[in-house]
Amino acid sequence: MSETNEASRRDWLKAAGALLAAGTIGPAGAAWAQPIGAASGKLPAVAAGAHTSFGPLRRVRAGDLDVSYAEIGPATGKPVLLLHGWPYDIHSYLDVAPALAAAGYRVLIPSLRGYGETRFLSETTPRNGQQAALAADALAFLDALTIETALVAGYDWGARTACILAALWPERCTGLVSVSGYLIGSQQANAMPLPPKAELQWWYQFYFATERGREGYARYTRDFTRLIWQLASPQWRFDEATFARSAASFENPDHVAISIHNYRWRLNLAEGEPRFDAIERKLAGFPTIAVPTITLEGDANGAPHPDPAAYAKKFTGRYAHRLITGGIGHNLPQEAPQAFAQAVVDVDGA
């Protein structure tokens, strides 16, 4: 699940700002551009749970990885890169992808390192889950497919990666959709303690900091991930088949190592790779994002997430925030595929 950034941590401590109202909300202040509205007549109706498979997946060597990915839509369509989170997988986009493909987009959904059939090319590559490594993977994936620019969208780990691409490589991003907003973090910001109630939401992060936690996650991966799904989306009534499709992705031989390293790195309990130091220094400055952006939040998100007021000014281009109602939790693209797909179409038309 997504980490709070420096702004959101200050928000936890100071309780700054109220939750933005439901619907599409533009930023305040004369320096902000007009909010992004809704495009018309381009997106078919999207029903949650209507699709159960992507069909055969594709593979490409990209950077450190042999990436397994789903692709749907015309090869000549505008590329859309959809990035999943933890502990979820590409199936979060089962209903989003066909709708975007029907609207003419080329939709690409890679399994992240440690998920599905994605594999490291070398046994000696560190099983590194730090944010810069995941961003480097995404860039390498676009490069391997010779894609110069793409719309980027994601939630949880995927939202953080999408934000990093938009912040540091805006020339590669034509638009951004990010669930829970601006999720770029730093080890320094994560060292700031939170009030006890807020810390309680991060129980699994502290569990993962111990060897007991690592062994427990390895032994009970399926039970653990099911619990996270239930806590993060308390009103989502997913069935066993839905969970089983994604749970198969966690059988990846590197899943546990990547998951544990990600959370330990955040707390400065595990080292990153020196080759990513320059990127992390830039991210530690919390760069603004100027590409057209829509941020989304579910009204029943049970995972830790920042208040929209805490991050609105990180987006300096055309921007809108949308609160998605109806008991929508953390896995927003799977729970509310119509809203997520519409946001992609709308940010493209910004």
Nearest Cα to 158, choosing from 313, 310, 333, 7? 333
CA gap 281, 278 in Å, rounded: 5
> Kindly report the CA angle at 100 between 176 and 63, in degrees rounded to 5?
60
The pLDDT value recorded for residue 42 is 78
CA gap 174, 108 in Å, rounded: 15
Q: What does residue 13 show for φ and ψ, rounded to 5 degrees?
A: -75, -35
The pLDDT value recorded for residue 93 is 98
The pLDDT value recorded for residue 39 is 66
Indicate the residue type of 187.
Answer: Q
Q: pTM higher than 0.85, yes or no?
A: yes
- Using only the alpha carbons of the chain, give its radius of gyration: 18
Cβ neighbours for 8, distance < 8 A, ≥ 6 positions apart: 305, 306, 307, 310, 311
Residue 113's CB: how many other CB atoms inside 10 A?
Answer: 26
The 10 Å CB-count burial string (b at 16+, else e) for 124-159 is eebbbbbbbbbbbbbbbbbebbeeeebbbbbbbbbb
Nearest Cα to 31, choosing from 315, 294, 320? 315
- From first to last of the 350 residues of the chain, give the pLDDT tens digit: 644 444 444 443 333 333 333 334 443 322 334 578 776 557 989 999 999 999 999 999 999 999 999 999 999 999 999 999 999 999 999 999 999 999 999 999 999 999 999 999 999 999 999 999 999 999 999 999 999 999 999 999 999 999 999 999 999 999 999 999 999 999 999 999 999 999 999 999 999 999 999 999 999 999 999 999 999 999 999 999 999 999 999 999 999 999 999 999 999 999 999 999 999 999 999 999 999 999 999 999 999 999 999 999 999 999 999 999 999 999 999 999 999 999 999 999 87
CA gap 219, 41 in Å, rounded: 48
The pLDDT value recorded for residue 250 is 98
| Structure-token pair, residue 131 | 């944010």
Question: Would strands 65-72 and 79-83 be described as parallel, antiparallel, or unpaired?
Answer: unpaired
The pLDDT value recorded for residue 34 is 54
The pLDDT value recorded for residue 40 is 54
The pLDDT value recorded for residue 82 is 99
